[in-house]
Every structure is written in C-alpha cells, then in structure tokens.
Chains A and B, each alone.
Chain A
Amino acid sequence: KQEVTQIPAALSVPEGENLVLNCSFTDSAIYNLQWFRQDPGKGLTSLLLIQSSQREQTSGRLNASLDKSSGRSTLYIAASQPGDSATYLCAVAEVGSNYKLTFGKGTLLTVNP
C-alpha cells in the first residue's frame, strides 16, 4: 500500500527565507505527484503537478522536484512571505489506481513578519 510522508510536520521561518518542504512515498510506480496548499478552513489549491517523466516544475517562487526512483519530492519556496503561511500537502497517483490520490498529512508552514 502506498504511503506518503511529509517532513517536517510544522515549520516556522522568518520572512524572506528560502525553504524546502519534503515529501517521500513508498512505491515509485506513480503517474504523477501533485503539491497543494490549504489555508485554514478552506479547500485545497493545486500548486504544481509533476508527471512521472518530469524532474521538476516551476511556478513563480515555487519549484518542485521529483526523484521517482528514490521516492522523493521537494517543494522549494523562494523568498518566503507571510502570505505563504498555510498547510502544504503532497499527493501521488499510483499506477493502476485509476489516478486516485494518496495524500501525505501535510507540513504546516508559518512565515513570521
């Protein structure tokens, strides 16, 4: 059974710092990996989708990498801002699962002004 782990569970940084969030998964047979952001009491917002054949994706200050063979992904946030404070979730779609997502439990990020 696919398991997705996110470390750390919580992270607090000062504004302006560059930071990395980690995601690992146990079965490397995946279609893709998706990073989401969730604000308190809200739904999930898709940030980046990396297909299994890709190594990284970038959107603005966000860069996500994927190393499928080692079962790891990182989300890099450059020049963090207080508005980046949220929970970040990663999820994988396992081959043969009809693209159902298995989620990690998230990293709660706090960016202090």
Chain B
Amino acid sequence: NAGVTQTPKFQVLKTGQSMTLQCAQDMNHNSMYWYRQDPGMGLRLIYYSASEGTTDKGEVPNGYNVSRLNKREFSLRLESAAPSQTSVYFCASRTDYYEQYFGPGTRLTVT
C-alpha cells in the first residue's frame, strides 16, 4: 500500500509555462483534495473531488484546473504559471470515516 503518491517532488518553472501535478491513491477512497501550503498562510484548499467525475472549487482556485481521471487519480494543472504560485502542493484523500491522508508534496518554484 503506497497510500497517496505525488509526482514530481520538485519543479522549477518560468513564468507563463504550464505543468500538471499528478496525484494517485491506492486506498479506494472516493474523495480527493488539492491544497497549497505557504509560509504564514497555512494550508489552503485549491480544489476537491467528492467522487469520480465531480470536482469543486476550494478557497484559492484561481489559476488552476483539475481533472479527476478515475477513482485513483486527481491531477492539478497550472496553465500559465505565475510567481504567486510558488508553493508546496499537497494532495490528500479521505476515508469513509472522514480521516484525510496526505501525499509527500510537490515543491514548485516559479521564476
């Protein structure tokens, strides 16, 4: 059981470039989440997916898109990266008893 996995671990982008952050879970959870973590701001929800085929905006969705590819995978896309999107991105999934499990994170720097 790998739990929640994320790729890549690190990424450096130039302003205006695009990229997709990948997340997968092998725990058969229905709900999945994308958060960003910034110094002094804590963790904030970007998007979530309550079940396969559904996605909804969180607190800070601007500049991001998501795809719930299947039950296992939930990807986060930056179409035109900006320096304000420099952050650590975490994916999580939720058990039926409402406990969330987190991946190891992707550290993104936009120059």
Contacts and interface: CB of A to CB of B under 8 A. Distances in A.
Interface of A: 31-32, 34, 36, 42-46, 49, 51, 89, 91, 93, 98-101, 103-106
B55 to A, nearest CB: 12
B98 A32 contact: yes
B74 interface: no
Counting chain B residues whose Cβ lies within 8 A of the other chain, the interface size class is: 20 to 34
- Interface of A, secondary structure class, is strand
B1 to A, nearest CB: 15
Interface of B: 31, 33, 40-45, 48, 50, 56, 58, 90, 92, 94, 97-105
B90 to A, nearest CB: 6
B101 A100 contact: no
Contacts of B103: 43
Given A89-B43, A105-B42, A98 B101 contact: no
A43 B90 contact: yes
Contact of B101 (A42, A46, A89, A105): A46
Nearest to A103: B43
B45 A101 contact: yes
B42 A99 contact: no
A49 B101 CA distance: 11
B99 A46 contact: yes
A93 B45 CA distance: 12
A31 B99 CA distance: 11
A100 B99 contact: no
A4 to B, nearest CB: 8
